[in-house]
Chain A
Amino acid sequence: MKLLSYFRSAATRLFHRAEVADDLEQELRSHIEHRADDLERSGLDRATAERRARVEFGARERYTEESHEALGGNFLETLLRDVRLAVRKLRKSPGFLIAAVFTLTLAIGANAVVFGVMDGLVLRPLNVPDSQSLWGTVYGVDAGFQSYPNYLDLRDRNHSFEDLAAFSFVFAGLDTGNDPSLAAGFAASGNYFDVLKIQPFLGRFFHSSDERGANSAPYLVLTHAYWHTSFHDDPGVVGRIVAIDKHPFTILGVAPPEFRGTLKFISPDFFVPIVNQDQFATTRTLTDRGTTHSVFETLGHLRPGVTPAQAVADVNAVGAYLAATYPKELSSRTYTLARCGLTSFGGPVRAFVAALMLLAGLILLAACANLGSLFAAHAADRSREVALRLALGSSRQRILRQLLTEALLISLCGGAFGVMASVALLRKLGAWQPFAGAPIHIPVNADASNYVVAFVLALVSGFLFGIVPVRQVLRANPYEIVRAGSAGRLGRRITLRDVLLVTQIAICAVLVTSSVVALRGLERSLHSNFGFEPRNTMLLGVNLTVGGYGMEAVLPVQKRLIDAMGTIPGVDKVGLVNNYPPLVYASAGRENVFKDETRDLKQSNVAVMPYSYDVSPGYFEAAGTSLLSGRDFSWDDTKSETLVAVANREFARILFGSVTNAIGRFVRMQDGRRIQIVGVVADGKYLSVNEDQQPALFMPSLQSPASSAYLVLRSQRDPQELGAVIRNKLREVDPALPGDIQTWNSMLGVALFPSRMATASLGVLEIMGAMLSITGIFGMAAYSVSKRLRELGIRMALGAKRTEVLKAALGRAVRLLAVGSAAGLILGIMASKVLAFIVYQATSRDPLVLGGVVVAMSLLGLLATWIPAQRALAVNPVILLREE
């Protein structure tokens, strides 16, 4: 009852705020008048009487305040009055308001964006039921790749998983009737959807019961997004038959909209049973136990009560069994478990996102430091007003609450703008498809959690910078301030503001350092030796299976294509590589290679495991790979001839000690074939730009034809124009054959994407940090110059030189800058170790990095102190002294 009446009273007061205040005002006035009447009667004149009455009444402001509190509804009401007062105060200094809100918008926005990315990439599990117990297995070093027979054994022999599903990738031409287009899909085991416990949006999924041996399940499940874009939400698609690489597949159903496959970076267009995956490949991978190609990841729910550690031991036992049972095909490798979604990339991704979050947090801290000193300066400038209010009986608590209200108002405004900007940006990021034709996307979320995070950050930062001037206010002695004016003392001691500024500069220097390190790394990886020359190189991808050719037609058609492309004016060299060229879609497979004298071809005797590529004669010239010794392939190296191969320098070094030793020597392959090394080419990069030097072996595509291949065309011509010519040429050869025409450089984009993203995000954070530092130093320098104008004027009048004036005015700011930069540089160098995970050759032991940071920080300092310095030098002592 009491509570109720309290609220009722509070509500009444709230709605009749003005009335109540007016009422109170009138009552107090009435009191004073009555007292004055009495005093007048005792012989004073009216004016004196009224003055006496007011003095006798006491600290009117305090009593008004206390009365308001006594009247109830005090919290909401004082809050509202504080807010109104704060709005009025802030309106009076719009520059301060805009600077503060803008700073916070940037800082909170950056944090919300990074949080959104972290949420999508790391925090949030896959959008499937019971995702907490869902784990994937990572086998050996090659990011989870393994063979289908191994998967079957692992599925049937483990005791840890409820059931184990597997998937791999399919890139194929999907023909819905008239317009064949390339689409990306998952080849998934029959139990895939059942393991994930999801239900179809439309129709049905395929199940284990649909698998009855190789190519037995020509069924297709569409993702909701692909159904939406390619089938326009047509509910009649179920049961329709479409052609994938010319093979008929029946559409079974559509996956629910929230399910985008079990990888976070890649959203497929469709799912087909993994038993049919050989229909899209030129080699039979389903029965090959030694391959590392046919399964990308296996995943399943752990049984209740089974810990991940137990599961790791269990799957490793299966791995050991497999290695012992199939010594020829498998070597013993270790299994680990990884959270589904990121597979083995989880570690680096988490490290990088955490680092990014840390940096964003630092930005926010820097912003708070900045605003804290701004606020302290603001409060100092208002010290006269504060002193007056204190003298009039306002409590310190009340004044502090007022200051905090202002701080929170600013921070909430900043938070609101920040979250709006970040949500817009996150939506863009989420919809962004960085590569046409590759189903790569950045999984980010812009939802309620972002708003919550931004709100909390806004509150926290508001309190953080709001409490900076607290000590100043608590210590304020009203009489002193009112008497002495605001010129006050400018302490020589190290103040809180100095500490804040140094912190902030250090943070900025950390950001500058890491972003310079990242930039250098990226620059190096762009100009590092790939082992081929991606500039002036066009790629033409053709899949002859899509064109309806049989295997026997592959070589003649490929030869026709190479010859046709060679006739294009301006095209100097043409070559061909099966599947994908190096550094495109991280697609190379490894081959087991034995020494020639090895007879027992078991895994433990493998001499070297090079990446292998099948290339045509002329490929090396077209790709710009230099031949170090020996010869290129010739069109006579056909299937019937002695098997030949070209090794890279690393391969030759490992197996034969030197390049010249390797020429003419033989090696033995897993299937027992002897191959002669006829040439050695320069080392290069194969899967990723930041790999260590790997061995590679090139074999003639003439001896192992594949229907899917890329032609490499070297030409100085403009890529746009050349692309059109190539397309026409392709139509001349076969009008129905689709081709993927891109520059090699643009396809490298995928390989360089992580480092580019890392560098870009660091760059953005760095720019924000730099802006904050500039405003911070500027604020501090400008403030100290304005406070000391009179002193500077006296110095000048007494004949001080310009340099001395500058030293007096800005010495402190410059010293702080130097200290902060040094601290930041050291921290930044330590932090860049994290960067090395993502950005190739990110090292801080680089004179250019050190130099770059020093130059950047000096420029920053110069920029920030330029205007205050000009102002200090422009002091006219005569005018200034007369004014005071």
Chain B
Amino acid sequence: MSDQAQLLPGTLDLLILKAVSLGPLHGYGVLLRIAQITGQALLIEQGALYPALFRLVRQGWLKAEWGTSENNRRAKFYELTAAGRKRFREETESWNRLAMAMTTALAASAEEV
């Protein structure tokens, strides 16, 4: 547990969009998918997922529908809308730029300055 990193503010939304972009998921499924694709490296309190999910739905990037899960339980499935797909691409690009900039900055040594 202790080597799990705290989530940067604002990154949860992007992670959710990424998880859902790989296929429709219910809430718990989103969590599992994030854990899977991040290699369990991030700590997300389970309840914190839902306010973020609903925010994305209200912004029109996700749509939700009740269905039946693999456990044969009722669950609400989320998938990307067209706007959400576009948004996800933009967010990804801007994240990549930021990450690149951060990486470059942090790699800088005294000689390069």
Query: Which residues of A line the B interface, CB within 8 A?
Result: 9, 23-24, 26-28, 30-31, 33-35, 37, 56-60, 62-63, 66-67, 69-72
Cβ of B22 to closest chain A Cβ, rounded Å = 18
> Are the CB atoms of A67 and B50 closer together than 8 Å?
yes
Instruction: Say whether, besides A70-B58, A71-B58, A58 and B47 are in contact (CB < 8 Å).
Output: yes
For B30, give the chain A residue with the smallest CB separation. Answer: A31
Q: Which residues of A contact B47 (CB under 8 A)?
A: 28, 57-60, 62-63
How far is it, in angstroms, between the C-alpha of A69 and the C-alpha of B55 when the chains are bound?
A: 9
Smallest Cβ-Cβ distance to A63: which chain B residue = B47
Are A66 and B58 in contact (CB-based, < 8 A)?
no
A822 to B28, CA, bound (A): 68
Nearest CB in chain A: distance from B20 CB, A? 15
Is there an interface contact between A34 and B69, defined as CB atoms closer than 8 Å? yes
How many Å lie between the Cα of A33 and that of B28 in the bound state? 9
The B interface is mostly helix, strand or loop, or mixed, namely: helix
A27 to B, closest residue via Cβ: B76
Q: Are the C-beta atoms of B71 and A34 separated by less than 8 Å?
A: yes
Residue of B nearest to A60 (CB): B47
In the bound complex, how far is the Cα of B52 from the Cα of A340, in angstroms?
A: 67
- The smallest C-beta distance from B97 to any residue of chain A, in angstroms, reads 26
Besides A66-B51, A70-B52, 14 new A-B residue pairs in contact (Cβ under 8 A), listed by A number: A26-B74, A27-B75, A30-B28, A30-B69, A30-B75, A31-B26, A31-B50, A33-B73, A57-B47, A63-B48, A69-B51, A70-B51, A70-B58, A71-B54
Task: A31 to B47: give the CA distance in the assembly, Å.
Answer: 9
Residue contacts A-B, CB under 8 angstroms, 13 given: A23-B76, A27-B50, A30-B28, A30-B73, A30-B74, A30-B75, A31-B46, A31-B50, A33-B71, A34-B28, A57-B46, A57-B47, A71-B58
Instruction: Given A30-B74, A37-B71, decide whether A67 and B46 contact each other with a Cβ distance below 8 A.
Output: no
Interface size on B, residues (CB 8 A): 21
A423 to chain B, nearest CB (A): 45
Q: In this complex, what residue of B is CB-closest to A20?
A: B54
A residues near B58, Cβ cutoff 8 Å: 9, 70-72
Contacts of B69 in A (CB 8 A): 30, 34
Complex formed: what's the CA distance from A62 to B58 in Å? 19
Please give me the 3 A-B residue pairs with the lowest Cβ-Cβ distance, nearest first: A63-B47, A58-B47, A66-B51
- Chain B residues whose CB sits within 8 angstroms of the CB of A33 once the complex forms: 71, 73
For the complex formed, measure the closest distance between the CB of B32 and the CB atoms of chain A, giving whole angstroms: 8
CB contacts (< 8 Å) of B26 on chain A: these are 30-31, 34
Q: Produce 1/0 per residue, B39-82, CB < 8 A to A.
A: 00000011110111011011000000000010101111000000
Chain B residue with minimal CB distance to A41? Answer: B71
Among A34, A62, A72, the residue within 8 A (CB) of B73 is A34
A242 CB to closest chain B CB (Å) equals 77
List the A side residues contacting B46 at CB < 8 Å. Answer: 31, 35, 56-58
Q: A673 CA to B76 CA in the complex, in Å?
A: 112
* Cβ–Cβ < 8 Å partners of A66 in chain B: 50-51
Q: How far does the Cβ of B43 sit from chain A's closest Cβ, in whole Å? A: 12
Minimal Cβ-Cβ distance residue in A for B60? A5
Task: Give the docked Cα–Cα distance between A59 and B26 (Å).
Answer: 20
Name the distance in Å between B27's Cβ and chain A's nearest Cβ.
Answer: 5
B54 nearest CB neighbor, chain A only: A70
Contact A27 B27 (CB under 8 A): yes
CB contacts (< 8 Å) of B76 on chain A: these are 23, 27, 30
**Which B residues form the contact surface with A (CB < 8 A)?**
26-29, 45-48, 50-52, 54-55, 57-58, 69, 71, 73-76
Which residues of chain A come closer than 8 Å to B45, judged between CB atoms? 57-58
The distance in angstroms between the C-alpha atoms of A294 and B51, with both chains bound, is: 83
The closest CB in chain A to the CB of B51 belongs to: A66
Whole-angstrom distance between the Cβ of A42 and the nearest chain B Cβ: 14
Residue in B28, B46, B47, B75 with the greatest tally of chain A CB atoms within 10 Å = B47
Contact B50 A63 (CB under 8 A): yes
Residues of A within 8 A of B71 (CB): 33-34, 37
Separation of A37 and B71 alpha carbons in the complex (Å): 8
Q: Evaluate whether A67 and B74 lie within 8 angstroms (CB atoms) in the complex, with A31-B28, A58-B45 already known.
A: no
Whether A70 lies near B55 (C-beta < 8 A) is yes
Nearest-CB distance from A568 to chain B (Å)? 93
Distance (Å) between the CB of B9 and the closest chain A CB?
Answer: 15
Q: Do B28 and A63 touch across chains, with their CB atoms under 8 A apart?
A: no
Closest B residue by C-beta to A26: B74
- In Å, the complex CA distance between A254 and B57 comes to 70
Chain A residues whose CB sits within 8 angstroms of the CB of B50 once the complex forms: 24, 27-28, 31, 63, 66-67, 70
Once bound together, how far apart are the Cα atoms of A35 and B28, in whole Å? Answer: 7
| Contact between B51 and A67, CB atoms less than 8 A apart | yes
- List residues of chain B with CB within 8 A of the CB of A58: 45-48
> For residue A57, which residues in chain B have a CB less than 8 angstroms away from its CB?
45-47
B52 proximity list for chain A (CB < 8 A) = 70
Query: Chain B nearest CB: distance from A210 CB in Å?
Result: 77
Known contacts A31-B46, A34-B71, A58-B47; A67/B54 CB under 8 A: yes
Task: Tell me which of B29, B46, B57, B58 has the highest count of chain A C-beta atoms within 10 A of its own C-beta.
Answer: B46
Residue of A nearest to B29 (CB): A34
**CA of A31 to CA of B31, assembled, Å:** 10
Which B residues are in CB contact (< 8 Å) with A60? 47
Whole-angstrom distance between the alpha carbons of A432 and B108 in the complex? 91
Which of chain A's residues have a CB closer than 8 A to the CB of B74?
A: 26, 30
Smallest CB gap from A30: residue in B: B75
The complex places the Cα of A24 from the Cα of B77 at a distance, in Å, of: 13
- Nearest residue (CB) in A for B44 is A58
Contacts of A9 in B (CB 8 A): 58
Taking the closest CB of chain A, its distance from the CB of B68, in whole angstroms, is 11
Tell me, in angstroms, the Cα distance from A142 to B51 when the chains sit together: 77
Q: How far is the CA of A66 from the CA of B54 in the complex (A)?
A: 9
- Smallest distance from the beta carbon of A738 to chain B beta carbons, Å? 83
Contact A31:B27 (CB < 8 A) given known A56-B46, A58-B47, A63-B48: yes
Closest to A58 in B: B47
Nearest-neighbor residue (CB-CB) of A59 within chain B: B47
Cβ of B47 to closest chain A Cβ, rounded Å: 4
